[in-house]
Amino acid sequence: MKEAKKIRRASVAIPPVPVPEELGSEAYRAIDRMREALTARMSAGLSPTALSLALYDWWAHLAAAPGKRLELADKAGRKSARLLSHIAALAADPDAPPAIEPLPGDYRFSAEEWKKPPFSLWAQAFLLNQQWWHNVTHEVPGMTPHHEDVVSFGTRQMLDVFSPSNVPFMNPEVLKRTFETGGMNFVTGFSNWLEDQTRTLSGRPPVGAENFVVGKDVAVTPGKVVYRNHLIELIQYAPSTSDVFAEPVLIVPAWIMKYYILDLSPANSLIRYLVDKGHTVFCISWRNPTADDRDLGLDDYRRLGVMAAIDAVSAIVPDRRIHATGYCLGGTLLSIAAAAMARSHDDRLASVTLLAAQTDFSEPGELALFIDHDQMHLLESMMWDRGYLSADQMAGAFQLLRTNDLIWSRMVHDYLMGERQPMFDLMAWNADTTRMPYRMHAEYLRRLYLDNELATSRLMVDGRPASIQNIREPMFVVGTERDHVAPWRSVYKIHDLSDTEVTFVLTSGGHNAGIVSEPGRPNRHYRIATKHADGVSIGPDEWTAAAEGRSGTWWEAWAEWLAAHSQEVRVPPPSMGAPDRGFAPLADAPGTYVLQH
């Protein structure tokens, strides 16, 4: 009994094991992360708090602005009078001009059937109502600009749902199709909808994508994988000319997409075009990350991606400077790498080409609607839970930016008209989605979009700031007129950040179709102008008025620019890889990473 008491006293005397304060705090944060991740699943990744704050900001300031409300009442009366006047004009002249025209890029009411009453009246009433709601959500005194953008964007989404073009009995094209088919268009449309839902739930690609097999139908330019690490495969393409330019071209695509957007079908492959022009072309193919890659950061993508590729190219084609090219996020990453190289006096680059790539994120366009501190916290929690940002979450955000083109027009065409839009290579590529690691994407959004560290020279690489101002290589920069991901005015800001020669091109098309713009495609045009290192930087509107306009594709202008910035004497093509220097060919192009799902 005495022995038992001694044991009990001894056990009581043992002090508790201290828990480090950092571990305790991390446990509390994990609780919040789990709650946020659950919220994100129920709200489709949109922050209810951010939306509520924006709505309250709008409502409170509108309620406190009697002048604004009187103005809105006056505008409502004026728009009603315009519609009534238009109706009266139609009674006298069936070809009377409309009271309002759709916004540029809005093709919902472009068919001839929409120009006749009553369909024209429904379209006119909708467009006037849309214009009035634009007034309601803009220029509310005292409202935060970001909240104004969020409320305006949300209002447009709601209005688009109720567009007459989306209502079967109000859409003359659907009615015409119904009469022609005896209503079978709805039967076929339902079948199309059911097939699409089945494919989505089973994780299969959309109808027709199976006709574009990577390595067989697309991504078929001959080449070899000459280097591989955990993050990239580097592809070297086989020459198609007897001699080549001395300087090789290295392409850094965005890791948000499969690289072969630049090597689609042979007819519209930018890589094949460069090879046929006599360039030795290398291209990075990014690994499709999984939850195990959650801790890969932005600097890992720079080191294991861009810098590893530059090291490999320098070994395979020694003593040659490199024409480095970056597309979208790949261009932003290339800018960071080039700035860091300039700071370290690494002169291996001959030029830098940026395709639809932003370096200043102060005006990033409508994508910034999904990026504020509250939304960022929700997004980080969602990625923290999974370890990555999934493809469906990224696709949903991009579709919201262009609902008329990517959602409603497709629903009308496939489900109401009962017709399938033919699949083509760019659409099939768009369905071949990728993921992004938790840490990298969080750093990218927070440090570049939210804090704009690159443009302000506060982005640190190896303990030193990466400043674009230090880049001395000539730059060729392309923006696209209808870019919803990297608006051209944002891309244009490279003029204000660099002290080197900048040749800027503004081309027709959007973020993808504007870049994939092969020679011979009809209705293509672009503007081009060069600012020399000692030149004066001007604003985008002034640039547009002064730049030279050309018809055709910017590919031809780039090919001329690359030739002008290369050595005049061409050389024999280099060997495929460099086995004696540790870069033996590992596989045929397109490699293995591009096939990961």
Domain boundaries, the chain: 48-160, 223-390+435-595
CA 91 to chain centre: 47
- Which residue in the list 46, 262, 324, 328 is annotated as catalytic? 328
d(CA 499, CA 501): 7
Contact 382, 518 (CB under 8 A): no
Print burial letters for 386-410: b (CB count within 10 Å at least 16), e (below 16): bbbbbbebbeebbebbbebbebbbe
Among all chains, which residue has been given the structure tokens 């979450």?
393
Looking at residue 20, what is its pLDDT? 56
Distance from chain centroid for Cα 169? 36
The pLDDT, as a whole number, for residue 22 is 56
Q: Which of 385, 401, 426, 391 is nearest to 515 (CA)?
A: 426
Looking at 450-588, which runs of residues are DSSP E strands?
460-461, 464-465, 475-480, 502-507, 525-531, 548-551, 587-588
- On the 0-12 / 13-18 / 19+ scale of CB atoms within 10 A, 26 is exposed
Residue 18 is predicted with a pLDDT of 56
Contact 330, 255 (CB under 8 A): yes
Q: Give mean pLDDT in consecutive 10-residue pieces for the chain, a chain of 597 residues.
A: 46 52 67 76 77 94 96 96 92 86 88 91 95 96 93 90 92 94 94 92 87 95 97 98 97 94 95 98 96 94 98 96 97 97 96 97 83 81 81 67 75 91 90 90 91 94 94 97 93 95 96 93 94 92 95 96 96 95 95 94
Beta bridge partners, 369, equal none
Are the C-beta atoms of residues 215 and 428 closer than 8 Å to each other?
A: no
Report how far residue 390's alpha carbon sits from residue 404's, in angstroms, rounded to the nearest whole number. Answer: 23
Using a 10 angstrom Cβ sphere, with 0-12 exposed, 13-18 middle and 19 or more buried, the burial of residue 381 is buried
Q: Is 283 a catalytic residue?
A: no
Sign (positive or negative) of CA dihedral 301, 307, 308, 309: positive
Query: Domain 223-390+435-595 falls in which CATH fold?
Result: Rossmann fold (3.40.50)
State the pTM of this model. 0.90
d(CA 434, CA 390): 7
3-state secondary structure of 209: helix
Residue 324 has φ and ψ, to the nearest 5°, of: -90, 135
Give the pLDDT score at 379.
Answer: 81
